[in-house]
Amino acid sequence: MKLGRLNHVGVATPSIERSVAIYRDRLGAEVVREPFDLPAQGVRVCFVDTPNSQIELIEPLGADSPILKFLERNPEGGQHHLCFEVSDIAQARDFFESGAVRILGPTRIGAHGTPIFFLHPKDMGGVLTEIMESPKQAH
């Protein structure tokens, strides 16, 4: 498996609107994307583009959102996960299944419309790590 680029840094927030204002007004980010719901993943999402990556703002959606406990621990929100790209998600899953890192749940479709899975933070030095298949290059 070849580790690809850092696709995004996930930032959990109690309010996407409030976080968008922080990135736009304090950091001068151009926030051009609209928030959207990902009910299957229990989050509302808004991407903030940077020249070489993205900030993925995520807000809980639904009573069993996977980020609720994180926000109980961090009421102001905070850095939640890192996401790296791979060319083949099935090959990446095989790679991790043969190793010492716990994979969290099934491979599912993430916010970029490509398959993803997560690696347990306790096996990744305290960093919840998302692996996503690179979007196919438009021809």
Ligand X SMILES: CC[C@H](C(=O)O)C(=O)SCCNC(=O)CCNC(=O)[C@H](O)C(C)(C)COP(=O)(O)OP(=O)(O)OC[C@H]1O[C@@H](n2cnc3c(N)ncnc32)[C@H](O)[C@@H]1OP(=O)(O)O
**Phi, psi dihedral angles at 101 (to 5 degrees):** -105, 130
8 Å CB contact between 103 and 92: no
Per DSSP, the three-state class of 135 is: coil
Written as six digits, the tokens of 29 are 């980010």
- Judged by CB under 6 A, the stretch of 29-37, 47-55, 86-94, 116-124 that binds ligand X is 116-124
Of the candidates 48, 56, 71, 89, which one interacts with ligand X according to CB under 6 A? 56
Question: How far apart are alpha carbons 94 and 125 in whole angstroms?
Answer: 21
115-119 and 36-38 beta bridge pairing: unpaired
Asked if 130 is an active-site residue, the reply is yes
Q: Taking the complex as a whole, how short is the minimal distance between the CB of residue 5 and Co ion, in angstroms?
A: 14
104 binds, options ligand X, Co ion, none, Cβ within 5 to 8 A by partner type: ligand X
8 Å CB contact between 108 and 116: yes
Active-site hit among 56, 59, 85, 130: 130
**Footprint of Co ion (CB under 5 A):** 10, 56, 83, 130
**Footprint of ligand X (CB under 6 A):** 10, 38, 41, 43, 56, 58, 66-67, 69-70, 80-81, 83, 104, 110-111, 116, 118, 121-122, 126, 128, 130
